[in-house]
A and B are shown apart, each in its own frame.
Chain A
Amino acid sequence: MITFSINGQEVGGEEGWTVLDVARWHGIEIPTLCHHEAMEPFGACRLCAVEVDDGRRTRVVISCMYPIREGIKVQTETPRVANVRRWIAQLLLDESPQAPNIQELAKSFGVTPSRFKKTGVESACHLCGLCIRACQEVVGVQALTFGNRGVLKEVTSPYHRRSQDCIRCGTCLYVCPTGAMEQIFPLVSSE
């Protein structure tokens, strides 16, 4: 048993647990987007950021990956954490103003659309990678993949063609948190 504190409250967990695991166990709310119980943590959305004091320094880490350690002090709502989350909500809202779960997220942070708009085709996909990870880790097929990098990064299949490896199981549609897969699926799934 490893004991430490979250927001001053004494908590504990087993070796190998993350801060997020323990927080959820104790019913402490931490928002997430790219996290899914059935899959390995990915660390892309950064929404689950928390501030950790490990005795040497205080820094912002992501709770879905940070392994619990004896005596650390975790704060889930600090000005730094709030700033990170607010900006993520803002940036996502400007990219995908139509996606219901992002609208909801934006609302919870009191964020409204800014004057900056996404360049190119609007999409609800924010590259959380759940579909790709489900296809690989859960289904065991690697039909979906990330392509390119940076601002051009996308969820697709090789050569943007309908995949020969896809078994049309629909898991990607099921795990997609924004509904973006509804648009992507017909382009990448096997015929």
Chain B
Amino acid sequence: MQITSIDDLQKAKVGGLAQLYPPKPKILVGMATCGLAAGAQRVYDLLHKKAQQEHWEGVVEKTGCIGICYQEPLVDLIIPGKPRVTYAEMSPEKAEALWEELAAGRVPEKQVLARMDVDGMILDGGPRKLYQGKLKGFLAKVPRYEDLDFFKLQRHIAMRNCGFIDPDNLLQYIARGGYFALYTALTTMTPDQVIQAVTTAGLRGRGGGGFPTGVKWASCRKAKGWPKYVLCNADEGDPGAYMDRSLIEGDPHSILEGMLIGAYAIGSSEGYIYVRAEYPLAVKTLQRAILAAREAGLLGTNILGSGFSFDLKLNLGGGAFVCGESTALMASIEGKPGEPRAKYVHTADKGLWNRPSNLNNVETWANVPVIIAKGADWYRDIGTEGSKGTKIFSLVGQVKNVGLVEVPMGVSIKQMVQDIGGGVPEDREFKALQIGGPSGGCIPREQWDLPIDFDSLWDAGAMMGSGGMIVMDNSTCMVDVAKFFLDFLIDESCGKCIPCRLGLKRMRELLEEFSSGKGSLEDLEELQSLSEAVKDGSLCALGGSAPNPVLTTLRYFREEYEAHILHHKCPAAVCKELITYTITPELCNGCTACVQECPQGAITGTKKEPHTLNSALCIKCGACFEVCKFGAVAVA
């Protein structure tokens, strides 16, 4: 279908709405990577097959991820005139049971997670109530989404369509207000007005630095040179962050629409999306979205009859974290090794092929259509003084409710971990929140009232980064965490400049000594001064922020470093050189599970007799600890 005018857009919207809320039952299966990894494909296949075999009146569709990753696979049931019901932790067997109920004309009552009474539809003139009258019986007792701890504080703006639409379906995107913001921008706003709106809204870059998006656009618009390029950074590389992947897999057109609006504002007709090749589904979803938009005329020449033209290319990353850095990303698009260059001349002036270029990350782009559609004032009402809007975080690690969380800026760490995340596992203690990936830092329990926004995190020595949040409890060793991030960065350093290439290696060598109980307190000072040298001396942000995990753990967990150095103890029982595994005879009932699992033959003993562990042979792999069901294996 060609969409070249507002009438076409309206028609597409009507068509899309009929698909979103058809006058017949509909099953939605969450099939982003997190769902698929949990087995959503088999669930979908089963339901789809059943529907076909039994000539079901309804439809079975796929959708993206709504964020409740710890309950995947998710299946949603949308029956006309009833609230939407979400079923969690599905399997083919459970899906079959669900199907039997459904085929018998009943609303299934098992595996229910929550119900949704109202679809927010933020871009489309407001909420849509899914049923009329009063709920009775079973449905009335099901908790609503907003009653779930996980969702109470959330507000989905960037994720507005994730878990609602089929990401491959352009009409469904339009049905929820998609591409109307583009139309508004193209027909009622000048490029400067668009930039003004984004500036007034207070949107700051969601990929790391938090640079004001409007200011960035304005300098690229002002820059001399032609052509100008608009780029999307989808090279999400921070370990523990996957919100960009989820946005792409759930709602690719929101990114395209954001880029189109940005290109119009900046005066660009060519763009690139640089996406991580390790995300095969995201790559395919983007390819399909670009094709669909091109076919509809939403990419190409004279878009929506406005005279504005823009098209996009998709580039796949080659597997280098440093390519998330803007100049390295541009080098990579040019077909070179991803080595960053000095940014004393900004990429807004000389970027890709030395032309003016504007790079924003996936989540930033996805926010743009909302700002245009709802207005800058609406947007700047959300969040804190210096950080407007919402931010998606991936809440992972030692926390019960793992998933993607989109909250207004300013929610505290405590609310995040305790309220939304449901706290750390039983009999453990919350220790620190690592935020900002390898460039970020570890914030301790003492600071857990800290509001999460750009500036507060910066002052605490961490940074927002792309929004990966790793919850750590007392089973995590902070020296080990610092080592972990250094290993990552050493592996990913391009190696061009000396402070990063050799400095990080030396930092790692010092940490290695600490974690094996060597070193001295003077070495801590050495580590500190080397960290400063790497920070000041490195070429790019990878090296410049690389010491952050070390500096924050030194700042907040110095006593843990000292425990390693002075007392040769690893309080979290992680550092292999400093721990020993033993078997407590009183607790061991001689089940032989550990004997079978030990790769070294270090454990001996006969059945039903307490076993013994020969520590001379032990390589501290922890296999026995993992496999023991009686807590008889101790580590200290």
Interface residues of A (CB under 8 A from B): 43-46, 49, 59-62, 65-67, 80-81, 83-84, 86-88, 91-92, 94-95, 116, 126-127, 146, 148-153
- Listed from nearest, the 9 A-B pairs whose CB atoms lie closest are A153-B495, A87-B533, A84-B537, A91-B502, A60-B536, A150-B493, A150-B495, A46-B537, A65-B342
Not counting A87-B529, A88-B537, a sample of 4 additional A-B residue pairs whose C-beta atoms are within 8 angstroms of each other reads A61-B344, A67-B345, A91-B506, A94-B506
> What residues of chain A lie closer than 8 Å to B101, measured between beta carbons?
none
- B341 interface residue (CB < 8 Å to A): yes
For B505, give its contact among A45, A67, A84, A151 (CB under 8 Å): A151
Quote the shortest CB–CB distance from A58 to chain B (angstroms). 11
Name the residue of chain A whose CB is nearest to the CB of B529: A83
Q: Roughly how many angstroms separate A94 CA and B342 CA in the complex, as a whole number?
A: 27
Q: Is B497 within 8 A of A46, CB to CB?
A: yes
Q: How large is the interface on B (under 10, 10 to 19, 20 to 34, 35 or more residues)?
A: 20 to 34
Quote the shortest CB–CB distance from A92 to chain B (angstroms). 7
Interface residues of B (CB under 8 A from A): 320, 337, 341-342, 344-345, 490-499, 501-503, 505-506, 509, 529-530, 532-534, 536-539
Q: Roughly how many angstroms separate A99 CA and B341 CA in the complex, as a whole number?
A: 28
Q: Roughly how many angstroms separate A94 CA and B526 CA in the complex, as a whole number?
A: 15
Q: Is A87 within 8 A of B503, CB to CB?
A: yes
> What residues of chain B lie closer than 8 Å to A80, measured between beta carbons?
532, 536
Q: Is B494 within 8 A of A65, CB to CB?
A: no
Name the residue of chain B whose CB is nearest to the CB of A62: B342
Q: Is A87 within 8 A of B530, CB to CB?
A: yes
Q: Roughly how many angstroms separate A152 CA and B337 CA in the complex, as a whole number?
A: 14
Q: Is A151 within 8 A of B509, CB to CB?
A: no
Q: Is A60 within 8 A of B537, CB to CB?
A: yes
For B493, give its contact among A65, A116, A146, A151 (CB under 8 Å): A151
> What residues of chain A lie closer than 8 Å to B506, measured between beta carbons?
91, 94, 116
Selected A-B contacts with CB under 8 Å, 30 pairs = A43-B341, A45-B497, A46-B539, A60-B537, A61-B344, A66-B342, A80-B536, A81-B536, A83-B529, A83-B536, A84-B499, A84-B533, A84-B536, A84-B537, A87-B529, A91-B499, A91-B503, A91-B506, A95-B502, A116-B509, A127-B501, A146-B337, A149-B337, A149-B493, A149-B495, A150-B491, A151-B490, A151-B493, A151-B495, A153-B501
Q: Is B539 within 8 A of A43, CB to CB?
A: yes
- The majority secondary structure among interface residues of chain B is helix
- The majority secondary structure among interface residues of chain A is mixed
Q: Is A46 within 8 A of B344, CB to CB?
A: no
Q: Is A149 within 8 A of B320, CB to CB?
A: yes
> What residues of chain A lie closer than 8 Å to B490, measured between beta carbons?
150-151
For B536, give its contact among A49, A67, A91, A126 (CB under 8 Å): A49
Q: Is B494 within 8 A of A149, CB to CB?
A: yes
Q: Roughly how many angstroms separate A2 CA and B530 CA in the complex, as a whole number?
A: 35
Q: Is B538 within 8 A of A46, CB to CB?
A: yes
Quote the shortest CB–CB distance from B545 to chain A (angstroms). 14
Q: Roughly how many angstroms separate A84 CA and B320 CA in the complex, as a whole number?
A: 26
> What residues of chain B lie closer than 8 Å to A95, measured between beta carbons?
502
Q: Roughly how many angstroms separate A95 CA and B495 CA in the complex, as a whole number?
A: 14
Q: Roughly how many angstroms separate A60 CA and B471 CA in the complex, as a whole number?
A: 34
Name the residue of chain B whose CB is nearest to the CB of A69: B344
Q: Roughly how many angstroms separate A64 CA and B286 CA in the complex, as a whole number?
A: 41
> What residues of chain A lie closer than 8 Å to B503, measured between beta carbons?
87, 91
> What residues of chain B lie closer than 8 Å to A62, measured between beta carbons?
342
> What residues of chain A lie closer than 8 Å to B534, measured between beta carbons?
87
Quote the shortest CB–CB distance from A74 to chain B (angstroms). 13
> What residues of chain A lie closer than 8 Å to B501, measured between beta carbons?
127, 150-151, 153
> What residues of chain B lie closer than 8 Å to A146, measured between beta carbons?
337, 495
Quote the shortest CB–CB distance from A57 to chain B (angstroms). 13
Q: Is B537 within 8 A of A150, CB to CB?
A: no
Name the residue of chain A whose CB is nearest to the CB of B508: A151
Quick one: given A83-B533, A151-B490, are A88 and B498 in contact (CB under 8 Å)? yes
Q: Roughly how many angstroms separate A84 CA and B543 CA in the complex, as a whole number?
A: 13
Q: Roughly how many angstroms separate A152 CA and B494 CA in the complex, as a whole number?
A: 9
Q: Is A126 within 8 A of B498, CB to CB?
A: yes
Name the residue of chain A whose CB is nearest to the CB of B532: A83
Q: Roughly how many angstroms separate A61 CA and B540 CA in the complex, as a whole number?
A: 11
Q: Is B320 within 8 A of A66, CB to CB?
A: no
Q: Roughly how many angstroms separate A95 CA and B501 CA in the complex, as a whole number?
A: 11
Name the residue of chain B whose CB is nearest to the CB of A95: B502
Q: Roughly how many angstroms separate A126 CA and B501 CA in the complex, as a whole number?
A: 10
> What residues of chain B lie closer than 8 Å to A44, measured between beta carbons?
496-498, 539
For B537, give its contact among A49, A67, A148 (CB under 8 Å): A49
> What residues of chain A lie closer than 8 Å to B493, measured between beta carbons?
149-151
Name the residue of chain A whose CB is nearest to the CB of B538: A46
Quote the shortest CB–CB distance from B558 to chain A (angstroms). 21
Q: Is B498 within 8 A of A43, CB to CB?
A: no
Of A61, A65, A87, A146, the most chain B CB neighbours within 10 A belong to A87
Quote the shortest CB–CB distance from B189 to chain A (angstroms). 31
Q: Is A91 within 8 A of B344, CB to CB?
A: no
Q: Roughly how many angstroms separate A61 CA and B342 CA in the complex, as a whole number?
A: 9
Q: Roughly how many angstroms separate A116 CA and B510 CA in the complex, as a whole number?
A: 9
Q: Roughly how many angstroms separate A87 CA and B492 CA in the complex, as a whole number?
A: 21
Q: Is A92 within 8 A of B497, CB to CB?
A: no
Q: Roughly how many angstroms separate A139 CA and B530 CA in the complex, as a whole number?
A: 38
For B498, give its contact among A59, A91, A116, A152 (CB under 8 Å): A91
Q: Roughly how many angstroms separate A153 CA and B504 CA in the complex, as a whole number?
A: 14
> What residues of chain B lie closer than 8 Å to A43, measured between beta carbons?
341-342, 496-497, 539
Q: Is A87 within 8 A of B499, CB to CB?
A: yes
Q: Roughly how many angstroms separate A45 CA and B534 CA in the complex, as a whole number?
A: 12
> What residues of chain A lie closer than 8 Å to B337, measured between beta carbons?
146, 149
Q: Is A46 within 8 A of B499, CB to CB?
A: yes
Q: Roughly how many angstroms separate A151 CA and B501 CA in the complex, as a whole number?
A: 6
Name the residue of chain A whose CB is nearest to the CB of B496: A44
Name the residue of chain B whose CB is nearest to the CB of A81: B536
Name the residue of chain B whose CB is nearest to the CB of A42: B496
Quote the shortest CB–CB distance from B210 to chain A (angstroms). 16
